A = this chain, B = another copy of it.
Amino acid sequence: MAYGNALAVLADPTRRKVFERLRAGPRAVNVIAAGLPVSRPAVSQHLKVLKDAGLVEERSQGVRRIYSFRREGLMELREWLDSFWGDALEAFKLEAEKSHKARRSK
């Protein structure tokens, strides 16, 4: 039931902002925190929660920690959502990669 965890983690608006900032690519903590309405430690705490939930991963680069988006962390939540649409689960797995391209090419 990791989807429950993902839901709880992404429910907080600030944490979701932190998470969404990583859509554009990996970032260091101070870069992520810049412009957010909360302190830098608060961002660190959010990143820890995101990491524990598998939504984000971290690597060290000198004195800074680079965080990056982790696609797999959203898989279960997505599958759970799809299960509400009936039997779409199998179809989703097959189309996960290519339907994206199809949609974008419209």
Chain A interface (Cβ < 8 Å from any Cβ of B): 4, 7-8, 10-11, 13, 16, 23-25, 69, 71, 74, 77-78, 81-82, 84-89, 91, 94-96, 100, 103-104
Contacts and interface: CB of A to CB of B under 8 A. Distances in A.
Contact of A69 (B16, B25, B88): B88
Contacts of A10: 7, 11
A100 B95 CA distance: 19
Contacts of A88: 23, 69, 71
A24 B91 contact: yes
A62 B29 CA distance: 57
A25 B71 contact: no
Nearest to A98: B25
